[in-house]
Amino acid sequence: MEKNKSRRPSLRLHLFITILMLVVLAMTVTNCLTLQTALELQIDSFTQEMQGQALVLTRQLSGSGYFEHSDDPTVNAVIEQTADMWGGRIQVIDRSFRIVRDTYAVDTGKYNISEYVIRCLDGQSSSSFDTEGQFVAFAQPIYEKNFKASVISVSPVEANNVVQDAIEGVLLVTADLQSVVAPFRQAREKDMILMSAATCIAVLVILVIVVYWMRPFKKLVQQIDRAAEGGLKDEVDVHNYAETLRISEAFNRTLKRMQMLDASRQEFVSNVSHELKTPITSIRVLADSLMGMEGAPVELYREFMEDISNEIDRESQIIDDLLSMVRLENKEQTLNISQVSINEMMELLLKRLRPIAKKRNIELLFESFRPVTADIDEVKLNLAVTNLVENAIKYNQDSGWVKVSLNADHKFFYIKVTDNGCGIPEDAVEHIFERFYRVDKARSRETGGTGLGLSITKTIVQLHHGAIKVHSKLQEGTTFVVRIPMIYIKE
């Protein structure tokens, strides 16, 4: 068991890892988004600046006759200066795809039939950004001098032809973005170092926070352990958080129930010991008295032996009731449910008890309002009702009466046992279902009562998902009402 406990993950560790992951994730996402956004803005600004400079250059080349005189030193100086300013490459391409000027002086005189050039000769400027190669490229058309596409007032097809005819060539610009990206790479490396340092600091801060958060729970565990070691006497009181307060209250409720059970168990053991010891003590006294008599008449011996037999019967009755109670309170106890005619069960039960009532001239009446068939455990419910009727006879006055009635509605059936006996004191009514409780202990011993009958009855009724109530008035009588569901539904 201890091994299993040590292998279970700690709540403190779970909190620490979760918070650390959230903090690191938040820092990483924020840092990446910030750098990426700044980089995109910088590249966009750089590209727009390049396009603006390229537009100025194309206007200089338009109608300058550069395609016929590509060795013009002034224009070439401007082209070289512009390319150097960007750290890039400029190609001037005529309408036959021939490279008139290449600032790298590598492809001059060759042909460039790239997608950029083709689209540009059709009158469409184009640009692209290569994230892997980290360069930007765009192409702008070079028009004839004084050409303005906006003044063309012909059909779209004819306008397109006019535009194409007005294009002298293409200015193709490519630039390396390393100069733009490099500072951000350096910033990212610095941020990684800062994030590592921040993570280390976060680890320490989170560890302190988690330890602080968990202190009430640690205190709660210590108090619970102390309460357990102290024999379930000390209550737990940790109210730092709503959760610890609820746990404390739940533990204290459980503790009180356990204390009540412990007290009940001790009382039960004490009562059982007393109840079992009383008949044995009586038998011992009677036996010692017999052994101390010399020449006693046979009638006296017979009287003593009859008393000993009665005490043995009483001891046997106590043991039987105890066994019945143990079986009924067993959690694995099951009811043998079957459909039973309650009318027939009651008639047989009362037939068996009438001789007992007749000895004291007590009238035993039965009133049935309708036929009742219900799902019950016949043996157990028979025992419960027998206890009620026997008590009504035992604790009644001579020549009294006991009335038993049976009724039902669409959901429950009701058994009512009423007598005109001595009644139960008001302060004793709430205790009569407790084990070994007797209203009149002297009379109970005379009648052979064990103080367990009503407790057994209540347990049986509750096993049937029913309820039992009692109404009593001193010197007037007592009424017990049992309510049982017609249909038993297993929980």
Residue 88, classed as helix, strand or coil, is: strand
Angle of helix 178-229 versus helix 11-61 axis, rounded to 10: 170
pLDDT at 407: 96
Using only C-alpha atoms, what is the Rg of the chain?
52
The one-letter code for the residue type at 473 is: K
pLDDT at 162: 43
- Residue 408: CB partners within 8 Å, gap ≥ 6? 369, 370, 372, 374, 414, 486
Q: What is the DSSP letter of 432?
A: T
Residue 425 phi/psi, 5-degree rounding, is -60, 145
Half-sphere exposure (Cβ direction) of 349: Cα atoms closer than 13 Å: 25
Q: What is the DSSP letter of 98?
A: B
Q: What is the DSSP letter of 111?
A: B
pLDDT at 153: 29
pLDDT at 44: 78
- Are the beta carbons of 78 and 54 closer than 8 angstroms? no
Report the Cα 109 to chain-centroid distance in Å.
Answer: 78
What domains lie within the chain, and their CATH numbers?
Answer: 11-183 (3.30.450.20), 243-329 (1.10.287.130), 338-485 (3.30.565.10)
Report the Cα 9 to chain-centroid distance in Å.
Answer: 18
Alpha carbons 319 and 130: distance in angstroms, whole number: 96
pLDDT at 161: 46
- Are the beta carbons of 474 and 424 closer than 8 angstroms? yes
**Mind listing the pLDDT tens digit of every residue in the chain (491 residues)?**
444 555 666 777 777 788 888 888 888 888 778 877 877 787 778 778 877 888 888 888 887 778 877 777 888 888 888 888 877 888 898 888 998 888 888 888 888 888 888 888 887 777 776 655 577 888 888 887 655 443 332 323 333 444 555 788 898 888 877 767 777 777 777 777 887 888 888 888 888 888 888 788 778 787 777 777 766 666 777 777 777 788 878 878 887 877 777 776 776 677 667 666 767 777 787 777 777 777 777 787 788 788 788 778 777 777 776 777 677 766 556 788 999 999 999 999 999 999 989 999 999 999 999 999 999 999 889 989 999 999 999 889 899 999 999 999 999 999 999 999 888 888 888 888 887 777 765 554 555 556 778 888 998 999 899 999 999 988 889 999 999 999 998 87
**Among all chains, which residue has been given the structure tokens 């028009």?**
143
Long-range pairs for 19-22 at CB < 8 Å and ≥24 separation? 19/206, 19/209, 19/210, 20/199, 20/202, 20/203, 20/206
pLDDT at 2: 47
Pairing of strands 167-176, 88-94: antiparallel
- Are the beta carbons of 181 and 133 closer than 8 angstroms? no
pLDDT at 27: 82
